[in-house]
Amino acid sequence: MHLVVFDCDGTLVDSQHAIVAATEFALRSEGLPVPERQKILSSVGLPLETIMQRHVPDADSAAIERMLDVYRRESLRLAQQEDRGQIMFPGMYETISWLGGMEAVVMGIVTMKSRRGLNRVVDAYGIRDHFQVLKSADDGPGKPAPDLLLDCMSAVGVDPQKTVMVGDTSFDMMMARAAGAYTIGVAWGYQTVEELEESGAQEIVRTPEELNRSLNVFIS
């Protein structure tokens, strides 16, 4: 049995417009300057509180909490729009369906979305039944700590040597390496190929077709 674990934002779905919009809205609610778009995206994958503290390191805890509340309300509003504030990357539904049909493969998601946000994604795109384990920011220490990935392995009874993490950020790669899993970085997400390589990605794929080939080798 092999375990394939996916990140969500930047790997399965492109939610950058909603993330940037909610971040800008939260910062402006406190009259604070807004970072460049790429700086916002480069922090995606960390726990939300950590991200906000990165953007405004001098803010006190009360201000951080207010901005987090604003961010969550704005994210919920965007998620209720017709496009749900995100789109699934082309080809990823097919990859999930292909893996879901394999008896010797189980799948999971580890994301820094809230549990509610993760539920919206798997239900909106009809992919919940393909995943045996779902871990969110509500379930334990955030990336790059290995805890949530180790919890996935424990839940399905698969060893690290037979686990692969698929993600778009250095935080995914560091988490997976710390957990002893194999690492595949996807180049269509929110960090650069160089960042993925420097953080320990053992493979970099540029298309879902390349990802499928790499996964087929890993699970064969």
Instruction: Choose the catalytic residue: 7, 14, 168, 172.
Output: 7
Residues 166 and 6 sit within 8 Å (Cβ to Cβ): yes
Whole-number Å distance between alpha carbons of 7 and 192: 16
Residues 173 and 164 sit within 8 Å (Cβ to Cβ): no
Catalytic annotation present for 9: yes
Instruction: Choose the catalytic residue: 9, 14, 168, 172.
Output: 9
Catalytic annotation present for 7: yes
Residues 42 and 202 sit within 8 Å (Cβ to Cβ): no
Catalytic residue numbers, as ranges? 7, 9
